[in-house]
Amino acid sequence: METNEAFEALKTFLIQNYGAKVASGGREIIKRCHICGDSRDPSSRHMYIGLRDGVILYNCFKCNASGVVDSKFFRDLGCYDVDMINICNKNNAKGSSLINQNKSSFYRKRIPNLTITEDSRTMKKLEYINNRLGVRLKLSDLAEFKIVPNLYDYLNHNDMPRLTRYKDVCDQLDLYFLGFLSADNAYLIMRRLVDKTEVLQGLQGRYVNYNIYDLKDNSYRYYILPGFVDPSQHIRINIAEGPFDILGVRFNTNAHDYNNSIYAAIGGKSYINLVKFFITEYGFMNFELHIYADNDVDNYEIEKISTVLNPYRTPIYLHRNTFPGEKDYGVTSDHIIDSVMQIL
């Protein structure tokens, strides 16, 4: 009988917390499927969990959902038990050559075509980025940082003729907004570049999301600068509110002096959810967290993160830009006074 410590720990965990039962003489676990909701009979269980080649797998015989019991499995379950998630992730990484534990990439498998057409509108948006941050990015750098100047240009290069928003909305997103591609390449976080009086009423916020594939799951709707980190080494995670903020952190603070670093923007979501995302999706625990918060963000949001990370003694540093008249890090380096305080 194939068995291992991780599977036994998962068995106990699911029995105690999710009403699971053992099956097949202890070789499998059965539970109600949290993906399809299972049948109306509350005693019915259709999801089977077991081992194959050292990897913990699940399969629902009602909805046919199947896969590895990994971070996404727990996230779909609504479970953020870091210890249990790490136990399963580490086991599966050792058990399967298909799971690469040496490097963690923030490119998903669906690699987009980031070809950019050089025209006057594109160059004007590039000039806006350079002037705002005080940098000298070239057109080729936009693709490297997953920046999409024009919506229609991106959709055409990726053979996506179907729009997921009304045509008049897309016209304005194309003309007056700058896009930042999300971690899963499924969303464009669009930043308005003109005064709000020049756009439709529904587009007057600073950021508007374009759902490229019209997906229901927006768990990965974060802007994360592409790159690689080695999870076996200490990681520095830098997070800020918007894409311009995190680019400002990357280019205009001493954060870039540190190797093995991640740069991510919450993109309208919460800081705590982004932290949970890194823990549950990638199993990161050996890291220090640097939060580059807008000055209008109160400490309550930061305290919630401290509560989650306190048991693991993860260092947390809160950064504020205290340059007079500025409130965030999406500015030139001469307008940043990086004031930092360790809060954990």
pLDDT in tens, 168-206: 999 999 999 999 999 888 889 999 999 999 999 889 888
Region 330-342: mean pLDDT is 97
Do 175 and 240 fall within a single domain? Answer: no
Asked whether residue 99 carries a pLDDT value surpassing 60, the answer given is no
Do 85 and 175 fall within a single domain? Answer: no
Total count of domains within the chain: 3
d(CA 307, CA 144): 35
d(CA 72, CA 242): 25
The reply to whether 113 falls in a domain is no
Asked whether residue 62 carries a pLDDT value surpassing 90, the answer given is no
Instruction: Return the higher-pLDDT residue of 40 and 275.
Output: 275
- 0.85 exceeded by pTM: no
CATH number at residue 17: 3.90.580
Asked whether residue 102 carries a pLDDT value surpassing 60, the answer given is no
Do 67 and 25 fall within a single domain? Answer: yes
Last residue of a domain, one of 101, 134, 149: 101
Instruction: Tell me what pLDDT residue 296 has.
Output: 86
Domain membership of residue 197 as a residue range: 120-211
Do 189 and 81 fall within a single domain? Answer: no
The reply to whether 112 falls in a domain is no
DSSP output for 242-258: SHHHHHHHHHHSGGGGS
CATH number at residue 329: 3.40.50.670
Residue percentage of the chain with pLDDT more than 90: 48
Q: Which of 21, 47, 34 is nearest to 79 (CA)?
A: 34
Instruction: Tell me what pLDDT residue 110 has.
Output: 52
Last residue of a domain, one of 167, 185, 211: 211
Do 83 and 184 fall within a single domain? Answer: no
The reply to whether 109 falls in a domain is no
Instruction: Tell me what pLDDT residue 337 has.
Output: 98
Do 129 and 172 fall within a single domain? Answer: yes
Asked whether residue 72 carries a pLDDT value surpassing 80, the answer given is yes
The reply to whether 107 falls in a domain is no
The reply to whether 94 falls in a domain is yes
CA atoms within 13 A of residue 91's CA, in its CB half-sphere: 26
Last residue of a domain, one of 182, 211, 240: 211
Asked whether residue 157 carries a pLDDT value surpassing 50, the answer given is yes
